[in-house]
C-alpha cells in the first residue's frame, strides 16, 4: 500500500472529525436499565477501500465500504503505521464466534515502539476475542464505534498514552460457553486517557467481568459515561493508579460493586455521578490516599460508600440513601480515620457527623445525625439519638472521656463501636438491635462501662476484644441470632482483662450466652444465663469466677470450663440439657455452695487436678438457706439425685461424701432434708420454730404436721412459707420434710 506524501493533511482531517457532530450522553436520574442513544459521526472523506483481512503499514485514510462476516482465525484489521484514519461508515466486522482463537477485530501493536496519531471511527465490531486491541500506542482516538459480543474484551489498551475514547458503545462481552469473565474496556499501564460519552453495558458472565477495568495507569478521566448491568463491577481500579477522575457518570445495576478502587490509588476524584442499584458496594475504596468524593447520589446498593484502610479523603455534598449500609469507614490505625467528612453529606436525608480532634462537643436530639464518628476527641457527650443503617451507628476512635446515653442503634454493621485506644467511656441506658455483626463492640481500649444497656437480635450482643477494665452492670443480651458457624452469642469476650458482669442476663441466644477466651479474672455476679442454644457459659480462660448466679435451661450445657483456677460459688445450675457442668483438663477449680439439678450434673474429661467440691465447714448463709456452708446440692429433676435421697445430718448435709463423676469428692453434699435437733444452735431452726407452730400452742409437734397436711389437701394457697424442701412448691413432700424436722 503506497505511503501518503501529506501526513499533516490527515492530522487536520482527524481534528475536524473529532470536533464535528459528536453527541453527548446526557446525565441525570437514569435508572440501571436505561442507556442513552449515541449519535454517530458521518464522513464523506475518500480514501483507500479495505478488504478483510487487511494489514495497514502506511499512513492514510482507510475506508470500509461493506460489512464483513464470518471472519476466520486472523485479525480482521491490523494497523502497523502512524497517521492512520480508519473510517468504518457503520459497517460491521463480524468474527467467527465458534472459534476459540485469540484474534481481534482491530489490532494496533507497535511491538515496543509506539504508533501515533491513529483514529478509528464508526465501526461495528463483534464476535472476536477482543473487539479492539491496542498496544504501544500514542495520540489515538476511538469514536462513534459499537463493540459488542466479543469474548475477552470489547476494547483493550496496554501501554497507551493520550488516548480519547468518545461516543461509543461497548456491550455484551462474554467468554465462550462455560467460561466466566469478559470485560468491556481494559486499560493497563497507560497514561492520559479520556473516556467521554461512552456506554458499557452488560459485559461479563458468571459473576465476573467489569464494565471498565483500569490497572497501573494515571490520568484517566471518565466523564458523561455509563457502565451498567455488568456481571462484575461497573468500574474496577487496582494497582498503583493516580489522578483518576470520574464525573457525571451513571454506574448502576452491576453484579458486584459500582466503583471498586483497589490498593495503591491516589488522587482519586468522583463527582456528580449516580451510583445506584449495584449488588455490593456503590463506591468501595481500599487503601487509597488523597481522594475527593463530591456531590454524588449513591443509592439502593448493599453498601453505599466504603472507605477501608485509606487516608485523607474528603467527602462533600454526597447523598447516600436507601442503602442497607450507607457509610462505612474502617482502618487498622487511627491515621486511617483522618478524613474530612462534613455535615453536608447526608445518609437517608440525615447529616453524617464525622468529628476529628474535637473537644467538649455535645450532640443532642436536635442534631439528628444518621451516624457519629469521633476521631481523637475528648469530653464528648452523645444523648437521645437513634442511629441507623451505617457501618457503625456510633464509632469512637482514640477518644477519651465520652458519655453515650439513651441511644438506640439499629440496622448498622456495628451498633456502638469503641476502639483504637479509646478510654474512660460510659454507655448508659442504650439499646442495640438487628446490627449485622455486634450490638456493642470494644477493642483495644480501657476503662469501659456499660450500665442498663440492652442488645437484641444482633449477631453478637457485646463483643469485647483486647480491652482492660470493663464493667457491665444491669445489662441484658437477648436473642442474638445468625449463622450458627458464626457463633451468635450474648457476650463474646476475647483477650481481655478485668471484666465484670453484674446483675445482668444472657438469654435465648442462638449459640452461647457468654463465651470467654483468654480473658483472665472475668467475674460474673448475680446474673442470669438461660435458654441459650449451646452453652450458658463457655470458659477458655484462667481465674474465672461466677457467684450467686443462675445458669438454667441451656441447650448443650450450663457451664463449660476449659481454664484453670475457676471459682463457682452460690450458683443455681439447673435444668440444663446435656450436663450442668463440664470440666475438661483443668487445674485447681473450686466449686462449692451451688445447686446442681440437671439430668446430668457434672461431666469431666481429660486430666483434671485439684478440683475442690467443698470448703471447710463454716457457718454462713448456704445456698438452700441453711446456716452452714460446705459443699453443693446434687439434685435431679425427678428427685432421685444424691442430695434428694441421702441420709441427713443435723447441719443439713448428707451423712456420706459424694463423688461427682470420678473427679474428686464433695465431703459436705447438701441434703434436701434438715433434721431439727433441739440441742442444736442453728439459728435457722430456731428462727422458724414459731412460724411452724401452726396451732399456736407454743410447741412444734406432730399436730402441726397434721394441720399442714390438711391445709395442702384443702387447696389453701397461702402456705408458700412452708416450702421445706425448697423446690418452689408446697406439697406432701414438704409434709415429709416437716415430719423429719420434728422427729
In this structure, of 33-47, 256-270, 314-328, 413-427, the range with the lowest mean pLDDT score is 33-47
In this structure, of 180-184, 192-196, 221-225, 371-375, the range with the lowest mean pLDDT score is 180-184
Peptide bond into 85 cis (omega under 30): no
Alpha-carbon span 390 to 393, nearest angstrom: 6
Q: Quote the cell numbers at residue 709.
A: 397436711
CA dihedral 186, 187, 192, 198 (to 10 degrees): 10
E strands of 111-244, at which residues?
115-126, 130-143, 146-148, 153-166, 169-171, 183-188, 191-196, 199-201, 212-215, 218-223, 226-228, 235-238
727 confidence band (pLDDT: 50, 70, 90): low
506 Cβ contact list (under 8 Å, min separation 6): 461, 476, 477, 478, 489, 490, 491, 513, 514, 527, 528, 529, 530, 532, 536
The whole-number average pLDDT for the span 164-184 is 88
Residue 28, pLDDT score: 33
More confident residue, 114 or 44: 114
Residue 98, pLDDT score: 62
Residue 601, pLDDT score: 97
Is 70 exceeded by the pLDDT of residue 687?
no
In this structure, of 70-74, 412-416, 461-465, 528-532, the range with the lowest mean pLDDT score is 70-74
Is 70 exceeded by the pLDDT of residue 7?
no
293 confidence band (pLDDT: 50, 70, 90): very high
Residue 743, pLDDT score: 62
Q: Which contacts of 96-103 are long-range, i.e. CB under 8 A and separated by 24 or more positions?
A: 96/70, 96/71, 96/72, 96/127, 97/127, 97/149, 99/72, 99/73, 100/176, 101/73, 101/129, 102/129, 102/152, 103/71, 103/73, 103/74, 103/75, 103/76, 103/128, 103/129, 103/130
281 Cβ contact list (under 8 Å, min separation 6): 257, 258, 260, 301, 302, 303, 304, 305, 306
The whole-number average pLDDT for the span 700-712 is 75
Residue 175, pLDDT score: 85
- Counting residues of the chain whose pLDDT is more than 90, the rounded percentage is 75
What's the pLDDT tens digit per position in 611-638?
Answer: 999 999 999 989 998 899 999 999 999 9
698 confidence band (pLDDT: 50, 70, 90): low
Alpha-carbon span 261 to 275, nearest angstrom: 14
What's the pLDDT tens digit per position in 487-513?
Answer: 899 999 999 999 999 999 999 999 999
What's the pLDDT tens digit per position in 294-328?
Answer: 999 999 999 999 999 999 999 999 999 999 999 99
Residue 100, pLDDT score: 53
Alpha-carbon span 209 to 256, nearest angstrom: 10
Chain centroid, CA 714 distance in Å: 60
8 class by beta-carbon count within 10 Å (0-12 exposed, 13-18 middle, 19+ buried): exposed
Chain centroid, CA 518 distance in Å: 23
* Alpha carbon distances (Å) from 177 to 99, 174, 618: 11, 8, 82
Domains belonging to the chain, first-starting first, are 7-228 (2.160.20), 467-564+572-588 (no CATH), 690-742 (1.10.1330)
463 Cβ contact list (under 8 Å, min separation 6): 437, 438, 439, 440, 441, 442, 492
Question: Cell numbers 390438711 label which residue?
Answer: 710
Average model confidence (pLDDT) for the chain?
Answer: 88
The whole-number average pLDDT for the span 413-433 is 98
Residue 718, pLDDT score: 65
Residue 706, pLDDT score: 75
691 confidence band (pLDDT: 50, 70, 90): low
Residue 539, pLDDT score: 98
What's the pLDDT tens digit per position in 437-450?
Answer: 999 999 999 999 99
The whole-number average pLDDT for the span 222-240 is 95
* Alpha carbon distances (Å) from 57 to 167, 351, 592: 27, 60, 95
Residue 736, pLDDT score: 75
Alpha-carbon span 613 to 601, nearest angstrom: 13
277 class by beta-carbon count within 10 Å (0-12 exposed, 13-18 middle, 19+ buried): buried
Residue 5, pLDDT score: 35
695 confidence band (pLDDT: 50, 70, 90): low
Residue 73, pLDDT score: 80
Amino acid at each position: 500500500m503506497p505511503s501518503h506524501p501529506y501526513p499533516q493533511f490527515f492530522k487536520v482531517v482527524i481534528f475536524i472529525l473529532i470536533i464535528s457532530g459528536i453527541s453527548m450522553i446526557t446525565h441525570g436520574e437514569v435508572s440501571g436499565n436505561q442507556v442513552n442513544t449515541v449519535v454517530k459521526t458521518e464522513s464523506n472523506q475518500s480514501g483507500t477501500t479495505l478488504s478483510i483481512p487487511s494489514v495497514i503499514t502506511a499512513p492514510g485514510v482507510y475506508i470500509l465500504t461493506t460489512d464483513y462476516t464470518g471472519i476466520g482465525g486472523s485479525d480482521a484489521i491490523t494497523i502497523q503505521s502512524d497517521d492512520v484514519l480508519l473510517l468504518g461508515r457503520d459497517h460491521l466486522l463480524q468474527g467467527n464466534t465458534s472459534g476459540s482463537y485469540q484474534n481481534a477485530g482491530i489490532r494496533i501493536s507497535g511491538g515496543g515502539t509506539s504508533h501515533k496519531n491513529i483514529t478509528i471511527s464508526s465501526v461495528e465490531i463483534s464476535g472476536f476475542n477482543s473487539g479492539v486491541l491496542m498496544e504501544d500506542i500514542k495520540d489515538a482516538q476511538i469514536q462513534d464505534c459499537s463493540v459488542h459480543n466479543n469474548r475477552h474484551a470489547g476494547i483493550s489498551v496496554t501501554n497507551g498514552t493520550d488516548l480519547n475514547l468518545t461516543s461509543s458503545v461497548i456491550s455484551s462481552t462474554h467468554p465462550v460457553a462455560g467460561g466466566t469473565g469478559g470485560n468491556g474496556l481494559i486499560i493497563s499501564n497507560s497514561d492520559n486517557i479520556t473516556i467521554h460519552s461512552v456506554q458499557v453495558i452488560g459485559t461479563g458472565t458468571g459473576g465476573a467481568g467489569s464494565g471498565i477495568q483500569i490497572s497501573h495507569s494515571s490520568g484517566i478521566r471518565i466523564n458523561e459515561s455509563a457502565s451498567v448491568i455488568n456481571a462484575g463491577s461497573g468500574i474496577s481500579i487496582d494497582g498503583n493508579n493516580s489522578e483518576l477522575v470520574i464525573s457525571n457518570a451513571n454506574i448502576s445495576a452491576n453484579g458486584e460493586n459500582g466503583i471498586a478502587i483497589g490498593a495503591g490509588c491516589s488522587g482519586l476524584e468522583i463527582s456528580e455521578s449516580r451510583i445506584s442499584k449495584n449488588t455490593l458496594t456503590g463506591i468501595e475504596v481500599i487503601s487509597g490516599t488523597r481522594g475527593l468524593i463530591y456531590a454524588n447520589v449513591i443509592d439502593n446498593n448493599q453498601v453505599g460508600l466504603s472507605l477501608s484502610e485509606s487516608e485523607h479523603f474528603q467527602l462533600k455534598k454526597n447523598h447516600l440513601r436507601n442503602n442497607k449500609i450507607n457509610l462505612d469507614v474502617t482502618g487498622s490505625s487511627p491515621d486511617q480515620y483522618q478524613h474530612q467528612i462534613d455535615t453536608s453529606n447526608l445518609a437517608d436525608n440525615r447529616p453524617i457527623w464525622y468529628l476529628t480532634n474535637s473537644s467538649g462537643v455535645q450532640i443532642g436530639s436536635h442534631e439528628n445525625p444518621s451516624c457519629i464518628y469521633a476521631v481523637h476527641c475528648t469530653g464528648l457527650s452523645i444523648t437521645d439519638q437513634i442511629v441507623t443503617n451505617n457501618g457503625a451507628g456510633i464509632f469512637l476512635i482514640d477518644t477519651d472521656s465520652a458519655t453515650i446515653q439513651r441511644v438506640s442503634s439499629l440496622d448498622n454493621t456495628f451498633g456502638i463501636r469503641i476502639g483504637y485506644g479509646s478510654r474512660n467511656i460510659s454507655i448508659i441506658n442504650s439499646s442495640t438491635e438487628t446490627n449485622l455483626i455486634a450490638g456493642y463492640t470494644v477493642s483495644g481500649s480501657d476503662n469501659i462501662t456499660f450500665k442498663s444497656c440492652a442488645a437484641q437480635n444482633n449477631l453478637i450482643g457485646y463483643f469485647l476484644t483486647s480491652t482492660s477494665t470493663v464493667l457491665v452492670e444491669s445489662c441484658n443480651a437477648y436473642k442474638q441470632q445468625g449463622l450458627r458457624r458464626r457463633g451468635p452469642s450474648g457476650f463474646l469476650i476475647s483477650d481481655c482483662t478485668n471484666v465484670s458482669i453484674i446483675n445482668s442476663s444472657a438469654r435465648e441466644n442462638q449459640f452461647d450466652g457468654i463465651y470467654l477466651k483468654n480473658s483472665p479474672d472475668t467475674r460474673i455476679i448475680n446474673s442470669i444465663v438461660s435458654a441459650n442454644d449451646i452453652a450458658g457459659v463457655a470458659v477458655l480462660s484462667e481465674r474465672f469466677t461466677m457467684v450467686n448466679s443462675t445458669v438454667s435451661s441451656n441447650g448443650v450445657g450450663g457451664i463449660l470450663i476449659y481454664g484453670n483456677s475457676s471459682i463457682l460459688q452460690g450458683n443455681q445450675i439447673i435444668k440444663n440439657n446435656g450436663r450442668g457442668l463440664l470440666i475438661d483438663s483443668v487445674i485447681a477449680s473450686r466449686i462449692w455452695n451451688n445447686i446442681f439439678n440437671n439430668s446430668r450434673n457434672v461431666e469431666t474429661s481429660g486430666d483434671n487436678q485439684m478440683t475442690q467440691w467443698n470448703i471447710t465447714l463454716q457457718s454462713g448463709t448456704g445456698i438452700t438457706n441453711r446456716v452452714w456452708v460446705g459443699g453443693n446440692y446434687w439434685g435431679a429433676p425427678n428427685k432421685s439425685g444424691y442430695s434428694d435421697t441421702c441420709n441427713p445430718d443435723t447441719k443439713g448435709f448428707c451423712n456420706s461424701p459424694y463423688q461427682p463423676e470420678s473427679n474428686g469428692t464433695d465431703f459436705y453434699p447438701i441434703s434436701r432434708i434438715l433434721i431439727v435437733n433441739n440441742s442444736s444452735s442453728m439459728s435457722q431452726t430456731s428462727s422458724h420454730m414459731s412460724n411452724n407452730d401452726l396451732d399456736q400452742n407454743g410447741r412444734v409437734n406432730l399436730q402441726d404436721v397434721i394441720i399442714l397436711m390438711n391445709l395442702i389437701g384443702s387447696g389453701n394457697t397461702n402456705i408458700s412459707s412452708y416450702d421445706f424442701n425448697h423446690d418452689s412448691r408446697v406439697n406432701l413432700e414438704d409434709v415429709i420434710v416437716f415430719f423429719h424436722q420434728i422427729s
